[in-house]
Amino acid sequence: MEAKDAKLSFEHALEKLETIVESMESGEIPLAELLAKFEEGNKLLKVCETRLKDAELKIEQLKKQKDGVAFAKFETEREA
């Protein structure tokens, strides 16, 4: 994931991805631009997937802590 993509919030990345999909579905984009938008969309999809996975892991940690099991500090790819 590129540094600029790593700073995008889930909501912002999803919003940009939705805009790309809408423009691609319009059918009015030249092939070269369509390919570029497809590549950008794939990067944004990875950002969204990473954010969701991080949230899922954090929720699992919180559930385990609630049940009396504690873990070390939660780290994501962006913190490492």
Q: pLDDT tens-digit profile of 23-42?
A: 999 988 999 999 999 999 99
Q: pLDDT tens-digit profile of 1-19?
A: 566 666 889 999 999 999 9
As a 3-state breakdown, the chain gives helix, strand, coil percent values, each rounded to 5, of: 70, 0, 30
For residue 10, give the 3-state DSSP assignment: helix
pTM of the model: 0.69
